[in-house]
Amino acid sequence: MKAIVLVAHGSRRQTSNDEVRSLSAKIAHKMSHEFPVVETGFLELAEPLIPDAIERCITQGVTEVCVVPYFLSAGIHVEQDVPAEVKKTQLIHPDIKMEVQPHIGGSDMMVELIRNTMLNR
């Protein structure tokens, strides 16, 4: 069984964290057949932290975790911090496949998203 962990930075502003959780819920609804488990994880400032979100997936019986960095640019968090958090958890669960996906902002679909946003305002 596969899972998605949508990873964001985390914020002191609770509504920002709730926004990410809401997006995770929408992903879960749209992708329930491909990914029966969808969790939200934060790098810092909010809970659950990335390892805890992955652990939640594992307790639900997943065998594969796809970590999706919800970041616009490939800064140090995307390049180092998120993979390091995943690696720590991978060492505890070597039997579970864990893979960090490309960050959202790097997708070519961002151009179309911005275009549609501007045309539909």
Domains (ranges, CATH) in the chain? Answer: 2-119 (3.40.50.1400)
Inter-residue contact 7 to 82 (CB < 8 Å): yes
pLDDT at residue 121 in the model: 80
Indicate whether 22 pLDDT > 90. Answer: yes
pLDDT at residue 80 in the model: 97
Residue 30 pLDDT level (bands cut at 50, 70, 90): very high
Residue 48 pLDDT level (bands cut at 50, 70, 90): very high
Q: Are strands 37-42 and 64-69 parallel, antiparallel or unpaired?
A: unpaired
d(CA 7, CA 67): 7
pLDDT at residue 112 in the model: 93
Q: Model confidence over 52-101: pLDDT tens digits?
A: 999 999 999 999 999 999 999 999 999 999 999 999 999 999 999 999 99
Q: What percent of the chain has pLDDT over 70?
A: 100
Asked if 103 is an active-site residue, the reply is no
Indicate whether 2 pLDDT > 90. Answer: yes
Q: Which of 25, 43, 34, 41 is nearest to 3 (CA)?
A: 34
Q: Which of the following is catalytic: 9, 29, 93, 103?
A: 9
pTM comes to 0.94
